[in-house]
Amino acid sequence: MDSNQATTYCYKGLPGNRPIYLDIYLPRPTPPNDGTPSGLGFPVVIYFHGGGLTVGNRKSWFPSWLYNRVLSLGYVFISADYQLIPPASGHDIVTDIQDLFSFITDTEFKVTDHTFKVHRDKIAVAGSSSGGLCAYLAAMHCSPQPAAVLSMYGMGGNFLSPHYLSPKDKVFFRGRELLDPSEFSEYLYPFKEQDPLPISDSPLDYYPQTYRIPGYPANPRMLLARLYLQLGVFLDYYTGMHDPSLSETLHGIINKKGYSSKDLEEAIPEQHRYLFPQFKVNSRWPPTMLLHGTADSAVLVDESRLLQDLLEKAGVSAELVEFRDKEHSFDYEPDAEDTWGEKFNIVKDFLFKRLGNAT
């Protein structure tokens, strides 16, 4: 990130006097006080952080390569928090994203000595991993609908796979050890606390180099998504459907011979289906760009491949840029800019094509 400083806004409040924040960054040079000549406002890219929906905040895993390119186009960059599971579910996250859109389109922002609005028709959404899922949810459920979607190894292209539904008894996630569920009882259903307060900000934290496993995550939430995948119950926490377990129901179906995707869809109660991007693709979905490493073991590349296929069949412009032999979060590697700068520039071109000039 460059020296440009964020201005923080609260876009909604949660029970227990807990605000949810966004950070807003202006391009250099900053927009004039009176906005665009038309007065419609400035293009914006809204970014959602990763963390498996369970951990992180608007500053976690900050995508400097994307941020720099967005600001170079003269666009505004917004990074937003959202509620984390548990205790939230995907239903709460959808509401947060909708409230975020209402806030940014209704607010006249004041950043230092600059006042401006967001152009309602020039909003792009972007996200990494679970943040990519948030971008999909925005495309599906927000008004105004985003003009473009950018997903970096996003979850949700195919939730109905063994990766989400099958318990694991062998190492499966980036070569890392299986976790002991007894160490995470606070975060497993049934919850000990009856009405836990919602949370939208859980910073990354690591043990020092003197710890028995140097640099190991010190915030247990950093391991929750991996644990839920290991147990094959991620969808229970995502939908909030624990009793009966949605994951157990779906796992039973995929263990049968001759099952169809329709069998899986029909097994999901109607009130939860709107959380599944693969069920909500239609011709109105915004133009989409997907970035994914082919060796990703946290979110399989087949998720982006399936979503691209569904979008193209619906007549939506969808481009998948694959990064050969790369794992999850490849764009945070120290040499990522030098190695992948040209591919990152494809993203810049995509955003400019969909959002146009800043003024």
pLDDT in tens, 5-27: 899 999 999 988 899 999 999 99
- Which is higher by pLDDT, 40 or 127? 127
Both tokens assigned to 216: 């190991």
Query: Taking the CB of residue 324, how many other CB atoms lie within 10 A of it?
Result: 7
pLDDT digits (tens, 9 = 90+) for 253-311: 998 888 988 999 999 999 999 999 999 999 999 999 999 999 999 999 999 999 999 99
User: E strands, 39-190, where?
Assistant: 42-48, 76-80, 109-111, 114-116, 118-128, 148-152
pLDDT at 98 over 90: yes
Q: How confident is the model at residue 226 (pLDDT cuts 50, 70, 90)?
A: very high
Query: What separation in angstroms does the CA of 180 have from each of 177, 220, 224, 234?
Result: 9, 12, 11, 16
pLDDT of residue 359: 75
pLDDT of residue 261: 87
Residue 352 CA, chain-centre distance (Å), reads: 21
For residues 81-110, average pLDDT: 97
Question: Facing residues of 76 across strands?
Answer: 44
pLDDT of residue 33: 55
pLDDT digits (tens, 9 = 90+) for 16-58: 889 999 999 999 776 665 444 446 799 999 999 999 999 999 9
Residue type, 256: K
* Measured distance CA(348)–CA(260) in Å, rounded: 39
CB 141 within 8 A of CB 94: yes
Torsion of Cα atoms, 299 then 135 then 322 then 295, to 10°: -10
pLDDT of residue 31: 60
Question: Facing residues of 238 across strands?
Answer: none
| % of the chain exceeding 90 in pLDDT | 87
| % of the chain exceeding 70 in pLDDT | 96
pLDDT of residue 159: 98
Query: Taking the CB of residue 253, how many other CB atoms lie within 10 A of it?
Result: 15
* Measured distance CA(130)–CA(50) in Å, rounded: 5
pLDDT digits (tens, 9 = 90+) for 187-214: 999 998 777 899 999 999 999 999 988 8
pLDDT of residue 59: 97
pLDDT digits (tens, 9 = 90+) for 137-196: 999 999 999 999 999 999 999 999 999 999 999 999 988 999 999 999 999 999 987 778
> Which strands make up the sheet holding 76-80, listed edge to edge?
7-14, 18-25, 76-80, 42-48, 118-128, 148-152, 288-293, 318-323
* Measured distance CA(231)–CA(166) in Å, rounded: 7
Taking Cα atoms as reference points, which of 347, 346, 311, 359 lies closest to residue 47? 347
pLDDT of residue 258: 87
* Measured distance CA(206)–CA(220) in Å, rounded: 10
